[in-house]
Structure 1
Amino acid sequence: MNKHTDSYYAHSIQNVSEYPQLQDNIECDVCVVGAGFSGLSSALHLAEKGFKVVVLENAKVGFGATGRNGGQIVNSYSRDVDVIESRYGDKQAKALCNMIFEGGDIIRGLIDKHNIDCDFKQGGMFTALNHKQLQGLEQHKKHWERYGNDQLHMMDASEVEAGVGTSAYKGALLDMRGGHIHPLKLALGEAAAVTALGGQIFEQSGVTRLEKGVNPVAYTEKGSVKAKYIVLAGNAYLGGLAPNISNKAIPCGTQVVATEPLSEAQLKEILPSDYCVEDCNYLLDYFRLSADKRLLFGGGVVYGARDPENIEGIIRPKMEKIFPQLKGIGIDYKWTGNFLLTYSRMPQFGAFADNIYYLQGYSGHGVTCTHLAGKLLAEALTGHAERFDAFADLTHIAFPGGRHFAIPMTAMGAAYYNLRDKLAI
């Protein structure tokens, strides 16, 4: 039986709901494959519109990146306003940029509407390690303000040190429309909301094959679901179910550790602001406090999604460089999770066979964008596809040379940009 990875999140959940395995042949309006944020947001928004929804999950609700990520509500996409406006036409760029804060708004709305207890905290910081990055944040602020975010504040080095507890940064951009959550609690709360609206969720029910047609069918080991529409929302955990879309991106792993709970003395120095933080490096580090006052620290990327043998060996030096006062602190949990990286770094939404939709490729910005994706999908299936099509009309370019060649080439590119970050060029 597929169980949650050995993470802090999984260990901190009490009384997890168990959903049955599909053991029958059933029918519905929409069959969603994958019970991560993309699938849950899709199911929830569709159920709210009156669709009969079935969600099929290979393992457990939130098993993949949804239940393993850093828990940060970071606005926009992996490519931001400046790149989008330079790369795409005015109409499409404006449509995409008008949605960059909506994912976070959706999360906060779901938390309030469905009374989801997921340790939500408001406020997120982007920190600069050098003056070049600080100048970039100043431009970033101007771009976001043009699209309506009036909750931004530039911080100098002394403000950052007071709020974070480190002298490593030259300054930061504080976004009060950002924040952090316990992602697995959020996923479980959303799943409960789906079932409360009449949706069905089946765990341990991985889809083994799809049958296309007027009413496509998703087959599992012990049952099947015939639907009007199928939504593929497995992202990096979709496997070989749909090679025509999985060959458009590569899976990548990121690592996270959770320390032992910090003492009262340590909490006076480490993140007294209780904001979440991510730096501006290409291979960025990110961290925040959990509800029980552990430091959750993540970073590093393994291209190809291999599980590294020594997660602590990757993360501890990064953590202790930022917080030397935590040198030698106990690490209680360490885990890895996979996200899906696209060549353009923009998410990939679309459909094939007219009634099989897909949502994937958030490239490290999945917490917020997945929630937007589900809302846009529900709009599309109710005859309002304009906003969905702003993404679907993007060209989904495969990595040159195919996935196996792309992995080492992408790693080489990342090493180049990592060196530029270190040299501040």
Structure 2
Amino acid sequence: MANTPYPESYYAASANAVPPRPALQGDVETDVCVIGAGYTGLSSALFLLENGFKVTVLEAAKVGFGASGRNGGQIVNSYSRDIDVIERSVGPKQAQLLGQMAFEGGRIIRERVAKYNIQCDLKDGGVFAALTGKQMGHLESQKRLWERFGHTQLELLDQRRIREVVNCEQYVGGMLDMSGGHIHPLNLVLGEAAAVESLGGTIYEQSPAVRIERGATPVVHTPQGRVRARFIIVAGNAYLGNLVPELAAKSMPCGTQVITTEPLGEALAKSLLPQDYCVEDCNYLLDYYRLTGDKRLVFGGGVVYGARDPANIEAIIRPKMLKAFPQLKNVKIDYAWTGNFLLTLSRLPQVGRLGDNIYYSQGCSGHGVTYTHLAGKVLAEALRGQAERFDAFADLPHYPFPGGQLLRTPFAALGAWYYGLRDKFGY
């Protein structure tokens, strides 16, 4: 049987030691079978185990193999489309409920880290950096919007203040969110997997779900085994493939690229980001960066629609890094990798149920670290019969990409090109 290792990345190279987990062999019965051992799947499993369910998790490769173990490591609140956009689409009542949940994911992460003693270099503080006056105006509106939904750990930064938290001359201002922050993402998901097992949950690695046999008691088939369950949670996101055709039609895998420098040393690292906050800019095609626990700079950006791997990741991302920090021109890049996230046409997550017993959440659209932790709680609530918050997500309208799977990639890339031009010329 094939063994899929982690892709080469800084995260894989610096991951905490974990025991090997077996592949599924033979038949298993459980209350809930979770497909995917990333943030969504493990968050769901933890909440379910804490409420007395028997849970089995199937992972096609290794825990955190997908976006959960490859992302920029930033704790960013809300959704990829903000609450005002949601409100215009679905009305104030549904938006109010979604708005109340928009800041919950970060709290869940911190609760998990504290409760299960997860070593993942958790740091508080995230900055949204404005490159233009128009972007600064948007941040001022965003602060008012978030405060309307009870989120008050925010500070607007003028040009002088932002230079105190990020040594970059590009920015005219920004907004600091002290409930944001950053983590070593693979170590977070590995710690959550250990927490699942500490509560009696079972995780099988190298055990891809190849078929779901639907019915009153559904069965998930893997190459060498089967799991019979009362409920299934589908949490594969961009790595689900065509296992559930209804879900594949309304989403598109996209790739993003990340590089990590050699260790910078305490003095140089502190000169770049004196308070050790993470940063993302306000462009549509945004750049994001932060320091690691051993004082490297992680820098990411760019989108490849259709999730193709670029031939030279460093050539794409290094110029972006040097535009922000020209003082790093002689610094070596130790790691470069890509990872896929799942894009929806609305850029809002897709949540729902197939039949009576197959639940799913997918399509974080590049904004998944906090949302996925919330999603696990919402899915667990639904399985316990408390569906109000689940329904608020499930009722969001979603549409297939125009042109179907054949044309969704060029259409999305054309849209990104248009917004990239807007970023470039400051519109």
Alignment partner of 1:236 is 2:243: no
Unmatched 5+ stretches in structure 1: none
In structure 2, C-alpha distance between the alignment counterparts of 1:33 and 1:316, rounded to whole Å = 36
1:211 corresponds to 2:232: no
Match of 2:136 in 1: 134
Deviation at 1:404, TM superposition (A): 2.3
Alignment identity in percent? 63
What's the CA shift for 1:14? Answer: 3.7
Q: CA–CA distance in 2 between the matches of 1:16 and 1:69?
A: 20
Matched, 1:396 2:401: no
Equivalent-residue separation in structure 2 for 1:49 and 1:259 (angstroms): 43
Give the equivalent residue in structure 1 for 2:341. 339
Q: Which runs of 5+ in 2 are unaligned?
A: none
CA distance in 2, matches of 1:224, 1:135: 54
Residue 273 of structure 1 is matched in structure 2 by 275
Is residue 2:189 matched to residue 1:187? yes
Q: Any conservation in 2 of the 1:78–1:362 contact (CA below 8 Å)? A: yes
SS of the aligned residue for 2:273 comes to: coil
1:45-97 deviation line (CA, Å, top 9, x unaligned): 11111000000000000000000000000000000022112111111111111
Aligned to 2:150: 148
Find the partner of 1:324 among 309, 323, 326: 326
**Match among 407, 410, 415 for residue 412 of structure 2:** 410
Structure 1 vs Structure 2 CA RMSD: 0.8
Q: Distance in 2 between matches of 1:124 and 1:237?
A: 28
Output the CA distance in 1 between the equivalents of 2:278 and 2:65. Answer: 23
**Residue aligned with 2:181, SS:** strand
Of stretches 208-217 and 396-405 in structure 1, the one that deviates more from structure 2 is: 396-405
Count of aligned pairs between the two proteins: 425
Measured in 1, the distance between the counterparts of 2:99 and 2:237 equals: 23
Counterpart of 1:103 in 2: which secondary structure? helix
Moved over 6 A (4+): none
Q: How does 1:20-39 map to 2 (within 5 A)?
A: 20-39=22-41
1:244-263 counterparts in 2 under 5 A? 244-263=246-265
Does the residue aligned with 2:279 lie in a helix, a strand or coil? strand
Alignment partner, residue 300 of structure 1: 302
Q: For 1:82-161, what aligned pairs fall within 5 Å after superposition? A: 82-161=84-163
9-18 or 140-149: which moved more? 9-18
Corresponding residue for 2:173?
Answer: 171
Letter in 2 for 1:67: G
Distance 1:198 1:37 in 2: 18
Q: Helix, strand or coil: the match of 1:345?
A: coil
Offset at residue 240 of structure 1 (A): 1.2
Secondary structure of 1:179's aligned partner? strand
How far off is 1:406 after superposition?
A: 1.1
- Counterpart-to-counterpart distance in 1, 2:109 and 2:271: 30
Quote the offset at 1:289 in angstroms: 0.1
Rounded to whole Å, the distance in 1 between the matches of 2:267 and 2:359 is: 51
Equivalent of residue 19 in structure 1, options 13, 21, 30: 21
TM (norm. structure 1) is 0.99
The C-alpha deviation readout for 1:98-141, integer Å capped at 9, x for no partner, is 11000111101111111111100000000000100000000000
How far residue 34 of structure 1 moved from its aligned partner, in angstroms, is 0.3
* C-alpha displacement of 1:162: 2.0
Q: Which residue of 1 aligns with 2:68?
A: 66
Q: Which amino acid aligns with 1:98?
A: Q
What corresponds to 1:7 in structure 2?
9
Greater shift, 43-52 or 157-166, is seen at 157-166
1:268 CA drift (Å): 3.5
Worse-superposed segment, 59-68 or 81-90: 81-90
- TM-score normalised by structure 2 residue count: 0.98
Counterparts of 1:17 and 1:372, CA distance in 2: 27
- Residue 267 of structure 1 deviates from its aligned partner by 2.2
Say which SS state the counterpart of residue 272 (structure 2) adopts: coil
SS of the residue corresponding to residue 269 of structure 1 reads helix
Q: Is the partner of 1:394 in helix, strand or coil?
A: coil
